[in-house]
Amino acid sequence: MKKTLNIGLIGYGFMGRTHSNAYRKVSNFFDVPYKPVLKTVCGLDEAQARAFADQWGYESYCTDWRQVIADDTIDVVDICVPNNMHAEIAIAAAQAGKAICCEKPLALNVAEAERMVAAVEKAGVANLVSFNYRRVPAVTLAKQLIDEGRLGRIFHYRANFLQDWTISKDVPQGGMATWRLDAKAAGSGVTGDLLAHCIDTAMWHNGAITSVSAMTETFIKERKNAETGKVEPVGIDDACTFMCRFDNGSLGNFESTRYARGHKALYTFEINGENASIAWDLHDLHRLSYFDHADDSIVRGWRNVHVTDGDMPYMGKWWVPGLQIGYEHSFVHQVADFLEDMAQGKPTSPTFREALATQRVCEAVLTSAKSKSWQTIKQP
């Protein structure tokens, strides 16, 4: 019998579902060293927490996250609540000796993120930040191709994350459904929410970002508060574009907005190297576009690689070659890696410390936009 690992999930919304699904599926497909047990789910509303526990098979539920931390039987605290609660919960969980999986962005700002890193490192607990796109097999394959040196010297990295759900001035801010528009709960707008993903993946693929120059815009300046009904100034960035330099000498270009009519979640990246280029699109997440200049010129062109073969990242654990997987599987892979590393006493990437580096870039982007100046990022 495998050792069990009791999970305490805080937050039963969108991410609460993806993480619960991952804990339930992981042992069916991966030979993981622990069997996750869905012990407790915590959320704001008691009836919803109970319904979630029933639906997903949690043994118990509660509405006070401190109960999860105080429960000696809980091994892993999984944080799936709005960004302004990450720091307090993660620090308490670390002090209680729990392993922690925390949703992104790590924190509201660098100062909070530094305290979180100090807490997990002092306690010596396993820690992981859920930048799940790294574990989409095609995105992981891109990392493998870069690390094998196939691209040669890299010149350009560009990424977009585009949505369109806040174009209407009638979308409120604040409250449980629209906390992402409230700077106090989210920390920032698209920079922390969407670009944080692009930055995490980019630095994983292409190394540290050393300087940034950004512009942001808040297209709708006032919105009704969903809880009080009062019309208040909007404090988040609705759109953000930045250019940057990477430590390896390459140039980066990033854009994110919630005002790109027609786009629901278009995350794309393209990397141009001396010998080859790579492109990826979340809408076709199981495909990797690859151009190799070494190909015979009369058949040279962009290849569309269907990332489903057993020798491609994670795919040997799923069905048979040719059959693809989807979005939710990136979270299953994340849990599989977390459990495997935990058993071996190894950190799982991205750790809190690695996510702090992303937080530093996000903060520099926002400072740059505000001050209309280039910002240098020193990663200590």
Ligand X SMILES: NC(=O)c1ccc[n+]([C@@H]2O[C@H](COP(=O)([O-])OP(=O)(O)OC[C@H]3O[C@@H](n4cnc5c(N)ncnc54)[C@H](O)[C@@H]3O)[C@@H](O)[C@H]2O)c1
Instruction: State the nearest-atom distance from the C-beta of 149 to ligand X, in Å.
Output: 30
Determine, following the binding rule CB under 6 A, whether residue 16 of this chain makes contact with ligand X.
yes
DSSP string, 128-179: EEE-GGGGSHHHHHHHHHHHTTTT-SEEEEEEEEE--TT-STT--BBTTTBG
Task: Mark the segment that binds ligand X (CB under 6 A) among 5-13, 234-242, 263-271, 306-314.
Answer: 5-13
The reply on whether position 335 binds ligand X by CB under 6 A is: no
Distance CA 136, CA 232 (A): 39
Residues 278, 219: contact at Cβ < 8 Å?
A: no
Neighbouring-strand partners of residue 209: 246
Rule CB under 6 A: say whether 14 interacts with ligand X: yes
According to the binding rule CB under 6 A, does residue 80 interact with ligand X? yes
| Binding map of ligand X across residues 114-153, x = CB under 6 A, - = no contact | ----------------x-x---------------------
- Contact call for residue 36 and ligand X (CB under 6 A): no
- Per CB under 6 A, the list member of 8, 36, 43, 187 interacting with ligand X is 43
Task: Quote the least distance from Cβ 359 to ligand X, whole Å.
Answer: 13
Q: Among 11-19, 149-157, 225-233, 236-244, which window interacts with ligand X (CB under 6 A)?
A: 11-19
Sheet with 209-217, edge to edge strand ranges: 302-306, 287-292, 276-281, 266-273, 154-162, 251-257, 239-246, 209-217, 375-376
Which residues in the 218-247 window bind ligand X by CB under 6 A? none
DSSP structure class, residue 351: P
Q: Whole-number minimum distance, CB 373 to ligand X, in Å?
A: 28
Whole-angstrom CA distances from 148 to 133, 151, 269, 315 are 20, 8, 19, 19
Least distance between ligand X and beta carbon 378 (Å): 26
Q: Which of these, 314, 278, 268, 305, lies nearest to 145 by C-alpha position? A: 278
158 interacts with ligand X by CB under 6 A: no
Residue closer to ligand X (CB basis): 65 or 204? 65
CB atoms within 10 A of CB 72: 8
Q: Does 12 bind ligand X (CB under 6 A)?
A: yes
- Closest by CA to 380, choosing from 82, 114, 7, is 114
Give the C-alpha separation, 41 to 60, whole Å: 7
Shortest Å, Cβ 48 to ligand X:
7
Nearer to ligand X (CB atom), residue 13 or residue 347: 13
- Size of residue set near ligand X by CB under 6 A: 22
- d(CA 302, CA 305) in angstroms, rounded, equals 9
Interacting residue ranges for ligand X, rule: CB under 6 A: 10-16, 42-44, 65, 80-83, 85, 103-104, 130, 132, 176, 193
